[in-house]
Every structure is written in C-alpha cells, then in structure tokens.
Amino acid sequence: MGVTDLGDALLALLAPLAPGDTLLGATLRGASTELGLRLTFEDAGGLVHVEVFPDEPGTRHAARSARLLFAYRALGTERARGEALCRAVAERARVNEDSVLDSLGTGDRAARVREVQITRALEPAGTAERPYLTLSPYVGCLIGCRFCYAQERVGVARRLRGLAPAPWGSYVDARVNVAAVLARELAEVPPHPIKLCPIVSDPYHAIEARLRLTRACLEVLRDAAPRDVYVLTRARLVERDADVLAAMSRARVGFSLPTIDDAVRARFEPRAASIAERLDVLRALRARGVATFAVVQPVLPGDLDALADALAEVAGSVSLDVLRGEGSARADFDAHPEARDEAWQRDRVLALRAALDARGVPRWEGELPADAPR
C-alpha cells in the first residue's frame, strides 16, 4: 500500500469507509494525529473520538482488533453510542490492519531524523463554537522539555510505526512537503484561525534553521487570503522570520514563559531559549508591529511579581494553566518538589492571575488568545 501519512493510515483501517460515509448512523469526519491517533465521528448531538493504540500491556481500551487497541471519548452524545462505535471501528480494522501496519513499518527504523511526505497539513481542532486548525511542520521535538505531554502522544505513533525507541528530544520527522500541501489546502478549508502549535513539536526547534519548513509555511500564509495565524514557541529562532510575520496583518506570536528565573528554566527547559532571549524577541516583534501573547503552563518557581511585570511589558494577553503531568521530568521536579503539588500550582495560578489583573493584562483560557475570532 505504501502508506506514509499516519492520517491516511488511520482512514485506511476503515476502508472502504471514507470521510462523509456513515458507520452505525454516525458520520466519519476524518482522522487526526495531533492529539493522539484518533478517528472522529459526528453523531446525533455530538462527537465521538475513537483513539487507536498499539496493543501494549496496561493500555486502557474499550475494544481490540488482532493488533490494535481502541478507546473512545463521547462528547455531547451517549457513552453507549461511543462504545458501540469504538467496537465497530475495531471490527472494521481487523480486515485492513495487517496491510496498513505492515506499510507503516517500512524504512529506516533507527533513524533519528527522517524526512517524510504528508498528504494533509491542516487538522481541525477546537470546538463547534471556536474551531481552529493546527499546523505542524515537524513531529518530534529537539528542544525536548521533559515535562512535555506531547512525548507520550508522539511515542504512540512511533511505536505503531515500529520505530526504534528513542528519548524525547532526540528525534524528529520533518514533513518536507508541508508548504506545498498547505498551499493546496488553504483553498479547500474554512477560514478558521491556524495555530502553529507545539502539540507534537515546536515550530522553531534547531532543525528549522536548516530546513526552513516553518518559514515556508508562513510565506504561504502571508501570500494567501488573510486569516488569523498563531505561532507558539520556546525558541529564539522565530525572530528570524520577523519580516514575514510583520507582513501578515493577522499574525500573533507567543512564547511559553513558565518562570522569570532562568536557573529554573535551565533545569526544566535546558535546550530552549533563555528567559531574557524570549523577552527580547517579544519586544523586537512588538516593535515590528507583530501582536504578541504568552503562555504560562505549568507555573514554575520564581518571583511572580517580576514575571507579571515582564508579561505586562511584552505580551498583549496571557494564558495560565497548571501542570498536566511530569512526563519524564521526575528528577527535575525532585529538585523543586513544590512545583509538582496540585495545590501549589493552583495557588500560584491564582496569585499570578491577580497580579496580571492588577496590571491590566488580558487573560484567556483554552487554546486561542482572547481576541481570537469566534
């Protein structure tokens, strides 16, 4: 079959069913690899996401085929409907999984940097009330923050492909045709905001300096019909593309800023830009007329008033959230054990929220800044 795109592989599990067709009365909307490997169905009153996993011990699941496990999330529809769809997907997969999974296992399984071809660049995300599209020129991240929740999601996809185990931060798939695919898709998708989103990778980790895939995507977006574009990063390299971003009337650039203390940053994010560099880049972008934002998630130790002062200077709006799992950063949190405490995280978020409110800094929750279109 020669399947190279995981989204295509997920859909191939259901062949001859295709997007727009129905299964048990629910309409298949498509496949996504951004938030795990999942197939999405629109059912009466809501959505059902059927998630796909390798058959590994300890994986929670509601159904299985010969080689895969399946779970589901029912949003706005009955759980019984979600479970029934999950089981139906597993039965369909039994017919196709050998050919699909065998095709995924081709190529150099030990390569840490792989150049891959894709058939889709944009993936739907958000809610019916606030939809947006994600765009990831890379999968895997060479910045490799150990607390990043993406490592498990990307790890599932690697294991499904039969790739050799590798530590988070040591491998990346470069989607070398992403700009060409994006240019084609922009004429086909709704005018929703687009987020270059580090769910599966930072758009500006080290290999971007050579491959320039993120820059190529921004150039496509600059030359297309205007739409809201959000870029979130931990890398100084984004400053290289200030010329393209400044030419986009509706571009916004954000940095993750979990602390003002660079020694703490260096422990938790050793290969990311320093705090001073992040602040300098945001100042430079604002001077070029580019709108800026910041994300504080998780909150790491450091002076909250100093962090609030810095955010008030460089960010047009700020998102706050708590730690969502340690990932492989247990040793880092052992050095700062207070930061792993749920109550400490909540209290710090509340205190930073009050400090930002006192400085008149707009805050937002969810995936898009407060001024994103609804």
Model pTM score: 0.87
For the chain, give the percent of residues with pLDDT over 70: 95
Res 94: pLDDT:
96
For the chain, give the percent of residues with pLDDT over 90: 70
Query: Alpha-carbon distance 140 to 116, whole Å?
Result: 12
| Residue 270, CA distances (Å) to 32, 35, 171, 262 in order | 30, 25, 16, 10
Phi (first) and psi of residue 79, to 5 degrees: -60, -35
CA dihedral sign of residues 309, 311, 317, 319: negative
- Average pLDDT rounded to a whole number, residues 9-33: 93
Res 109: pLDDT:
62
With a cut of 90, say whether residue 152 has pLDDT above it. Answer: no
Query: Alpha-carbon distance 354 to 339, whole Å?
Result: 19
Res 128: pLDDT:
73
Of 56-70, 138-152, 182-196, 238-252, the one with minimum mean pLDDT is 138-152
| Residue 109, CA distances (Å) to 104, 135, 139 in order | 10, 25, 15
Query: Alpha-carbon distance 75 to 52, whole Å?
Result: 17
Out of 3.10.129.10, 3.20.20.70, 3.90.660.20, 3.40.50.300, the CATH code matching 113-364 is 3.20.20.70
Res 314: pLDDT:
97
Q: Where are the domains of the chain?
A: 6-104, 113-364
Q: Which two tokens stand for residue 267?
A: 């422990």
Res 2: pLDDT:
39
> Is residue 148 within 8 Å of residue 256, measured between CB atoms?
no
Beta bridge partners, 63, equal 70
The residue among 247 and 166 whose pLDDT is bigger is 247
Beta bridge partners, 74, equal 48
Please state, rounded to an integer, the average pLDDT across all residues of the chain.
91
What does the longest C-alpha to C-alpha distance in the chain come to?
60
With a cut of 70, say whether residue 90 has pLDDT above it. Answer: yes
- How many Cβ atoms are within 10 Å of 324's Cβ, its own excluded? 12
Confidence class for position 131, pLDDT limits 50, 70, 90: confident
Rg from Cα positions in the chain: 21
Res 243: pLDDT:
98
| Residue 216, CA distances (Å) to 196, 203, 243, 284 in order | 12, 11, 13, 21
Res 373: pLDDT:
62
pLDDT digits (tens, 9 = 90+) for 249-275: 999 999 999 999 999 999 999 999 999
Res 5: pLDDT:
78
Res 1: pLDDT:
35
pLDDT digits (tens, 9 = 90+) for 287-321: 999 999 999 999 999 999 999 999 999 999 999 99
Range among 73-82, 106-115, 276-285, 319-328 rated most confident: 276-285
Res 122: pLDDT:
93
